[in-house]
A and B are shown apart, each in its own frame.
Chain A
């Protein structure tokens, strides 16, 4: 993370007594005010949290990402942590903006963090020197070109992440003004920018202030004279020349403050409201499981009760009762197994109309017009015959006989 949250130029030598030179105690120069150091610590925490909870979301299909998300307590919790860290970053950005405003408009400090052509020259000179083609390293002031690069990368990144984050957090509000495609586009940019930021921190920041030489000033707030001479020789020269501290008469200071404080307060409230709207302005989706479209009842049986075997064929109820029309098939079905072509129990067969009328070993079983006298009806009415007619079927046969037992 950038160790320079501000372009504050109000560094003062800490030793207030230059009249007592002590060779033993190294002279210390304040580099970062405590408020800047606290802001950096908060930024460190929020950025790291955002990276740790964000990148697994970008690479969610990979095993490592899923392990991390599980570690955080699942994707919902991961997102919540990410959102809280984003909120902290937004508050830091507001604080930083107001702080810069104070330094520019009230204290009228030199804007030492502004990049310029000189920084490009410094960068080229440093690189040329590293390649062994230059005579010396560039001499730099309060903020080296490396530090400025990092600061402005952070500003750029935070703005991009804030805008794209807003769009993803508030997609309904966003697409009222912009095309819907902006949502997946902002997701793409958010992920790309995140990767860029994390890699830049690992490569640029880690090397610049941890590996090359461990620079503790963001924690102690101080640099020694040797360190100043080494890294910020021009600033050291300015300090020695006494041109860094810009004294301000109390009257002017108070006058500017009376303007800045109300303006700053209004700005602060506006920005805080903006953050509030950002994080809570939109209820994007329902919180319940979406309803099934055109739902139907699950259990709608086709028959009242599922039938275990083949359904019965409906009983015949033809108007004109004839052997060929309805009785023949009935006799064949009910009686055919025993009184058929191949098996003729009691020499009786119902295979054909003629067979049926002919009867068996006891003579005719069907007497046309006389159901009561027909042996068939007598046997069946007694009940328990293996090929037993149902009551309805027997009634049908009786009617057929009554009607003359026609073919």
Chain B
């Protein structure tokens, strides 16, 4: 890596690492973690939609599966965080992959409908299956995880979130610059040509949904142990819209897009708190404006500007 490229990365790392040392305000630390979760969530969605061309309108379902799996294993079976955590993300990834095998035979808006339906079904199951999920009451007694007897809350949890966000980013980058990543992009650009190069589209699309499900599940687990409460209302339709926003505003099919989008979409409600009733309408307007005038999002537009 040349120095021109690594300079901003080093600067960003310094800011991220030293942030809690200078900013003592708990609210800002909390917001930083919310941004981290949004980035992880967006990275996975971008892999699915931006790089593999497969839409999901029910992505909150995987967020919920991650959060609920981790929380329920802890509350119902008394498992510690470091056991519930890998089980939860593996499970949400597996659900993505296995669901992908039937539904990713669908294309375009049919796939949109199927994923939207899945999101609604998962939410309904959480609300209705009270014996397992506590229904609309939610789960209130999630505990603070600990790492070698250090409780992970506040600043220490901030570093935990940073660690997983960085891992998610690096792994995404590695995946995209590989045989696997190229196969996803081939499917996005021309699904009918992919088999002539030995690519089984259904398998790769399902893998993409699996990975993005795993990422959403990871964000969900971190969410549950950040707020120490989860309920069905946390994972309803607006959360599925959020991830589309993060990726489209940030830059669909760009590596850095979800990072930019994660910042903007997490901070947006803070500026719009006076108009809380109109959130979805405002979001829809922003989304529409981006699709019309900046379809490649902020990162895509900047990249284009730099080239020309």
Do the two shown chains form a genuine complex with each other?
A: no
Q: What residues of chain A have their CB less than 8 Å away from a CB belonging to chain B?
A: none
Q: What residues of chain B have their CB less than 8 Å away from a CB belonging to chain A?
A: none
